[in-house]
Amino acid sequence: MSRLLLCLFLQGALGLNLYDKTDVALVTKTVSDGVNDIVKEQQDKIEHLKNYSFAEFRKQFTRGYEPGQPEFIKRHRIFKKNLQYLIQHNEGPTKTYIMGINKFLDYSEEEFQKLLGYKKVKSIGSASFLEGAIPQWNDTIKAVALPTGHDWRPKLTRSQHWFQDQGACGSCWATAAVACLQGHLEIKHGISDLLSTQSLVSCTPNLHHCGGTGGCQGATAELAFEYIANNGIPADSKWPYMSFTGSNGKCTPSLAKMTHAKIEHHVVLPENKGEPLLQAIYQEGPVVVSVDASTWNFYSGGVFSGCDKNAIINHAVVAEGFGEQAGHKYYLIKNSWGADWGEKGYIRLMRFDNDEEHCGIDNKPEEGTACEGGPKFVRVCGMCGVLYDSTYPRGATFVSKAQGGTFDEELVKKGIPMQEAKSKMMEMLTKPLRR
């Protein structure tokens, strides 16, 4: 089964959602054809876009190029083209999602595409070298009746606010695996800690060069989970992320041995099947999924339906729930581009009842295959190919004491009353963490 995943050079904290400044709430409006999530007073926002100037953009996103410079002229031209695209999208026929201003407004399409990369592969013989080590999903969970919607965020009081900034490192395979594991720890133990993405980037072996050559040059979420099962993972406080510049860093044995959390194994779900993914999300917890994020750059809210059936898979993200609004079913996806992108760091991705309803081909093997003997094309299903490759950890546990659980105790030791200490702890836990 093909299932190995790579994501090259995805930057965190990528977008500033203009609409978030006014904390506008999404409301549901049903039109005659039964589709559409829209934003309250959408016409006012369209007018704002029409009046939004390049000078405002440069100030808002701290652009250093000055009028008259070749870079200024180039970026101004791109800005106007992208702004017109946003206006046309939002004031055109009513859609299930809206787009907003963010950091990418002066990026060309080619520049944005270069930030995305994916190499999901089959090794020689169309079988992964991990094949025998991974339990089948139906050996670990049994199908149950599913509710209309499920959202893990109420139990992810702490971890839902953490967004790792990858910088110039192609480490989304590690970032997604860590975010998923942090969620599983909080679901199981009621508390979580930041785990060391850096340890995975620096130490995860990739002997078969699947998904790249390792570290910032690419690996897979499956490889990350396998490494954690065999070696554990330190806390971020012991080994913080340092690969912003694109350097893998050095695998330091003394740091790698400071194990803070571990898993028993990981599970890979059947390719291009929706039911196992829903069952895993509902019964087990967050799941790492692969997607084509090429058209996500300006997403601002609603149920995203902007991917063609043919999708070039290029990003690893975490599915934390599913639901339905105004007749549109969706997966709740946590992205790694910051809490000020999309719907407070999340995107709702359209979900179909029939797995075959939205299937196509990933037909760029020269961009998407790294191992020898890989296929010339692969079939991908679901909006943005979300059903193609899914994996999650099992048996998540702390090896050392969860550091975040003693915060209130430390405050009490400093003479702060317990009730006040609890309040301060909750304030800390619910404050978005930007790294």
Known catalytic residues are 172, 315, 335
Taking phi over 0 as left and psi of -120 to 50 as alpha, with beta for the rest, 118 belongs to beta
Segment (H or E) for 204? none
Between CA 27 and CA 35 the distance in angstroms is: 13
Q: Is beta strand 162-163 parallel, antiparallel or unpaired with respect to 265-268? A: unpaired
Between CA 268 and CA 111 the distance in angstroms is: 32
Between CA 372 and CA 127 the distance in angstroms is: 12
Positive or negative torsion for Cα 380, 386, 387, 389 = positive
Q: Is beta strand 433-434 parallel, antiparallel or unpaired with respect to 97-99? A: unpaired
Cβ-based neighbours of 292, under 8 Å, separated by 6 or more: 307, 311, 312, 313, 314, 315, 380, 384, 385
CB 329 within 8 A of CB 353: yes
Between CA 417 and CA 421 the distance in angstroms is: 6
Q: In 3D, which of 342, 325, 304, 302 has the Cα closest to residue 30?
A: 325
Cβ-based neighbours of 241, under 8 Å, separated by 6 or more: 164, 165, 196, 197, 198, 201, 435
Between CA 170 and CA 201 the distance in angstroms is: 9
Report residue 328: phi and psi, to 5°: -110, 120
Triad 273, 274, 279: Cα angle to 5°: 115
Provide the CA 318 distance to its chain's centre, in angstroms: 5
